[in-house]
Amino acid sequence: MIFETHAHYDDEAFREDRDKLLKALPEKGIGRVVNVGASPESCQTTIELMEAYDFVYGALGIHPSETAVLDEALFSRLREQCRHAKCVAVGEIGLDYYWQEPERAIQKKWFTRQLQLAKELRLPIVIHSRDAAMDTIEIMKAEHAEETGGVIHCFSYTKETAEIFLKMGFYIGVGGVVTFKNAKKLKEAVEYIPMERIVVETDSPYLAPEPNRGKRNDSSKLSFVINEIARIKQISPRQVEELTWQNACKLYQMEEVY
């Protein structure tokens, strides 16, 4: 079975066929899904999915691009939501410098607060970091993020940056981008990263792998990601599937049994 570590099935892209698609995933070899909150609204809809489907769990947090809306009342609400029995992580949280807004000081403030929340609740973290590697690492080190551990979602940096995250005890999330022909940097990083520290993800509905690039993504497409990791690592797809299942269970502090 395949463990989908990062998806957004509450997204509007699934409005027409969400229930049908989700119910079909176990038949397609998807044993568990972690749906990831990114805004106050999506944290609530993630909880609704967690409660509706046995195999769906949740990570709850505020994406850096959504941090401008945060205040103490919303943060208190997030704290209570993260106490849900099926919440397995705080995330996705982090820094995104690709866009100019929200301003970096706001992103850093709420990244720090959510790292502290994860430590308070003893939950791992799901990190979003785009064009912000050094600031991400600096804040993670200052807040001793190694005490909670977690995953670097949709890893897009070099193998040298991967080494820093690995030394902090983090897992590396690999998704559809690894199948792109121009993803040389990521392929090199995957070759370098130990297999016991890799987990697979789609970021559905985004980042569909080849040959579906540009289309709506879903967890059934993870086989393309697994096949490419197997090619890079020179092991069988079955080994990748089994190892990434074990890794995801360790990451999210869950039992390995299907």
In a domain? residue 201: yes
Region 165-190: mean pLDDT is: 97
**Lowest mean pLDDT across 25-29, 88-92, 186-190, 253-257:** 253-257
CATH number at residue 68: 3.20.20.140
In a domain? residue 256: no
CA 52, chain centre distance (Å): 21
Token pair listed for 88: 């397995």
Above 90 in pLDDT, residue 45? yes
SS3 at position 167: helix
Question: What integer pLDDT is reported at residue 19 of this predicted model?
Answer: 98
Above 90 in pLDDT, residue 66? yes
Domain containing 58 equals: 2-251
Region 61-89: mean pLDDT is: 98
In a domain? residue 257: no
In a domain? residue 172: yes
User: Over pLDDT 90: what percentage of the chain?
Assistant: 98
In a domain? residue 36: yes
In this prediction the pTM is 0.96
Return the DSSP state at 90: E
In a domain? residue 82: yes
Comparing CA positions, the residue from 153, 254, 233 lying closest to residue 188 is 233
Contact (Cβ atoms closer than 8 angstroms) between residue 96 and residue 107: yes
- What's at 125, amino acid-wise? I
Question: What integer pLDDT is reported at residue 256 of this predicted model?
Answer: 84
Region 79-96: mean pLDDT is: 98
Above 70 in pLDDT, residue 252? yes
Region 238-242: mean pLDDT is: 98
Taking only the tens place, the pLDDT of each residue in 102-132 is 999 999 999 999 999 999 999 999 999 999 9
- Beta strand 171-174 with 56-60 is unpaired
Question: What integer pLDDT is reported at residue 85 of this predicted model?
Answer: 97
Region 158-172: mean pLDDT is: 97
Above 90 in pLDDT, residue 257? no
Q: Residue 229 — φ and ψ, nearest 5°?
A: -60, -40
In a domain? residue 107: yes
Question: What integer pLDDT is reported at residue 258 of this predicted model?
Answer: 61
Cα separation of 205 and 190, whole Å? 23
Contact (Cβ atoms closer than 8 angstroms) between residue 33 and residue 6: no
Handedness of CA 80, 57, 191, 149 (dihedral sign): positive
Region 215-228: mean pLDDT is: 98
Question: What integer pLDDT is reported at residue 116 of this predicted model?
Answer: 98
Interaxial angle between packed helices 184-192 and 159-167, expressed in degrees from 0 to 180 and rounded to the nearest 10: 40
| Ordered DSSP codes for 69-133 | G--HHHHHHHHHHTTSTTEEEEEEEEEE-SSS-S-HHHHHHHHHHHHHHHHHHT--EEEEEES-H
Before 211, cis peptide (omega within 30)? yes
- Structurally, how many domains does the chain consist of? 1
* Angle at CA of residue 133, ends 129 and 134, nearest 5°: 140
In a domain? residue 112: yes
Question: What integer pLDDT is reported at residue 57 of this predicted model?
Answer: 98
